[in-house]
Structure 1
Amino acid sequence: MLNFKTIRLGILLSCMLLLVGGCKLGRSDDDGIIKLRLAHPMAPGNNVTLGYEKFEELVEKKSDGKVQVEVYGSCMLGSDRVAMESVQRGSLEMASSSSPNMANFSPYFMIFDLPYITDIKYQDKIYESLDEGKLGDFFDRLANEINLKPIMFSEYGYRNFVTTGQPISTADTLKKLKVRVTASPVEIEVAKALDMSPTPIAWGETYTAMQQGTVDGEGNTFSLLCDAKHDEVIRYAVDSRHNYSMHILMMNKDFWDELPADVQAIITESAREALDYQRSITSKLEKKAEQKFIEQGIKVHKLTPEELAEYKAKTRPVWDLFADKIPSELFTMVKEVQQ
């Protein structure tokens, strides 16, 4: 009969084997195939999801099947933060996190959370800087410092406020609403600036929170809200476009460095092509989702220029709250691409 010491020794040996297995992250001993697990929180059919599925297809095609990507969406391997922490410590190859949730790893990622810091008319310039310019170089260095390697800066889109019961339009109509936010300090301060009550809730729990009245509303892209079935509980929406977000795909830096140069090239090339595809479909999916809202009876208020200016004026002081947490050079780089 096994005694306690024997059981404890067995557990210890099992843990050691798991650790040893972790050193061979992503590699198969049997056939030499490199396997990459990619975790993300987005729903099926979402623009971010479709981009990662395209990335999977391209990597496997360009490598003749020698590199295989396994995509796990809908928080199957944990929320943004949990999955990214797994990548950071080396127990998972790749994970995608929204830029607001990346603030958990470095406050510098908050630059894109700042309200109205960018506009859709400057998107191409921002992407150019991220893909092959100053912004990309900056975030590559930043990620490397926390053992991460940026692979894709996917377009997530502009967040809009929605509610389950209270009509919303101008900034004043948002007062006293309990609104779901991420853990991003910026997002929390934006809600406060608009006189709302911010309530941090994990994405996977937001539908239930909206349904049960834990919160009155949330801010997100119309596309994701439809994909995640939140349109079942939403009654009102406003195209506030108050926050631009990306989904950033990261790989464990140590694992990336150990990959053969030709595999790195395949991943980089596939990511670029998948990004072109993903960004090209985002606007169409957002318009399609807005039309679905309208057809379902959800009231969508379109802001007038004057109403939009009011949103911007109320939230502009949030920039000052984070001026000492975000390098001035980063502010400068973002402003430069909008000139």
Structure 2
Amino acid sequence: MKVTPLILSSVVLMMSVSTTVMADYSGPKIKMKLAHPAPPGSHITVAYKKFADLVKEKSDGRIKVQLFPGSVLGSDRVMIEGAQRGTLEVGVSSTPNLASFTPLYQVFDLPYITSPEHQEKLYKSLDKDGPLNIYLEKVANDIGLQPIMYAEYGYRNFVSKDRPLNGPASLSGLKIRTTDSQVEVAVAKALGANPSPISWGEVYTALQQGTIDAEGNTFDLMYGAKHHENLKYAVTSAHNYGMQVAMANKKWWDGLPAEAQQLIEEASQEAVTYQRTVAYPEDKIKSRQGMIDAGVIIHEATEEELAEYRQVTKPVFDQFAANLPAELIKLVQDTQQ
């Protein structure tokens, strides 16, 4: 078999993040259900499968994670509500949908508050004992949840069924799908589009039937959900960043033995590191090429066009930032320097 540079680099990266040591776990047997919205093959699905495998390995099978992918237990909102009530140990939601539970998660929806070139600094702040990690743990605790993993989601790009996309004006008049995030809705309006907040599971059919004619999401998630079958154009707007956050029921988490909590946290960090360095980059390349091969024309936004996007959406940033703690905004902006 010919070993390509991509495969070789992936093997090297896999070796570098595979640092699992069998733990001497002697605590009680624990079973936990974890439900997430990502489709099969997604790097998000890979991250949570890696997490489940690591938990099992580290505990010698005494702690087991039962996975429910692809929104089989309901939408992001339903999964987080289940975690709050305790009918589900761990639910996963994108950060825009978490804003329905507390507006503080809107900080990541603010257009262009983060950028891909500073991603490593953002990761460092989000990881255990990082400033954002500490701040957001309290945010989650206040609504009965405990963050387990900030899995990568990626940067959203605008796509459409029938209209070529480039600068902000190209989105004017389009019926565009958004999440329930008030910021996303406001961004769509600022761009002259008509926002249509619908759940993720309904987007494929909505595109197919013409209920919407555009959306903003990551290439890999859209490709994994086969949205490219109904799309023709895209622009690399990278207008906001998202994560798929695993949230545990706080009461359930607090009732776990300390050694079980530590083991789960270690598995989480290893899994998300694997996702960021191996699964996500590979999925991003594969899905983008898959969309191109399917006939989707991807326009690389120029610096001038990105500057226009920032300018047009700046009033939305200012509007929602005014209602968020200045400390939180600064914590995010500190990662971008």
TM-score normalised according to structure 2 size = 0.90
- How many pairs does the alignment contain? 308
Work out whether 1:287 is the aligned partner of 2:285. yes
Is the Cα contact below 8 Å between 2:140 and 2:147 reproduced in 1? Answer: yes
3-state SS of 1:255 partner = helix
User: What does 1:28-47 align with in structure 2 at a 5 Å threshold?
Assistant: 33-47=29-43
Work out whether 1:238 is the aligned partner of 2:235. yes
Matched residue, 1:66: 62
TM-score normalised according to structure 1 size = 0.89
Distance in 2 of aligned mates of 1:255 and 1:334: 29
Q: Which amino acid aligns with 2:85?
A: R
Distance in 1 of aligned mates of 2:224 and 2:200: 13
1:283 to partner: Cα distance: 2.5
Work out whether 1:332 is the aligned partner of 2:330. yes
Matched residue, 1:124: 120
Within the candidate set 247, 266, 269, 1:250 is matched to: 247
3-state SS of 1:84 partner = helix
Matched residue, 1:103: 99
1:47 to partner: Cα distance: 1.2
3-state SS of 1:337 partner = helix
Within the candidate set 296, 299, 323, 2:297 is matched to: 299
3-state SS of 2:70 partner = coil
Work out whether 1:199 is the aligned partner of 2:229. no
1:290 to partner: Cα distance: 1.2
Matched residue, 2:210: 213
Distance in 1 of aligned mates of 2:84 and 2:323: 22
1:284 to partner: Cα distance: 2.6
Query: Who wins on radius of gyration, i.e. which is larger?
Result: 1
1:320 to partner: Cα distance: 1.4
Within the candidate set 142, 146, 163, 2:143 is matched to: 146
> Which 4+ residue blocks in structure 1 deviate beyond 6 angstroms?
none
Distance in 2 of aligned mates of 1:329 and 1:87: 28
3-state SS of 1:45 partner = coil
Within the candidate set 318, 321, 327, 1:320 is matched to: 318
Q: Which amino acid aligns with 1:286?
A: K
Gaps of 5+ in 2: 1-27
1:167 to partner: Cα distance: 1.6
Distance in 2 of aligned mates of 1:304 and 1:140: 37
1:324 to partner: Cα distance: 3.1
Is the Cα contact below 8 Å between 2:110 and 2:321 reproduced in 1? Answer: no
Gaps of 5+ in 1: 1-31
Distance in 2 of aligned mates of 1:72 and 1:331: 33
Distance in 1 of aligned mates of 2:209 and 2:148: 38
Distance in 2 of aligned mates of 1:223 and 1:63: 32
Is the Cα contact below 8 Å between 2:107 and 2:321 reproduced in 1? Answer: no
Q: Which amino acid aligns with 1:68?
A: K
Query: What is the alpha-carbon root mean square deviation over aligned residues?
Result: 0.9
3-state SS of 1:157 partner = strand
Q: Percent identity?
A: 50
1:253 to partner: Cα distance: 0.5
Distance in 2 of aligned mates of 1:323 and 1:294: 36
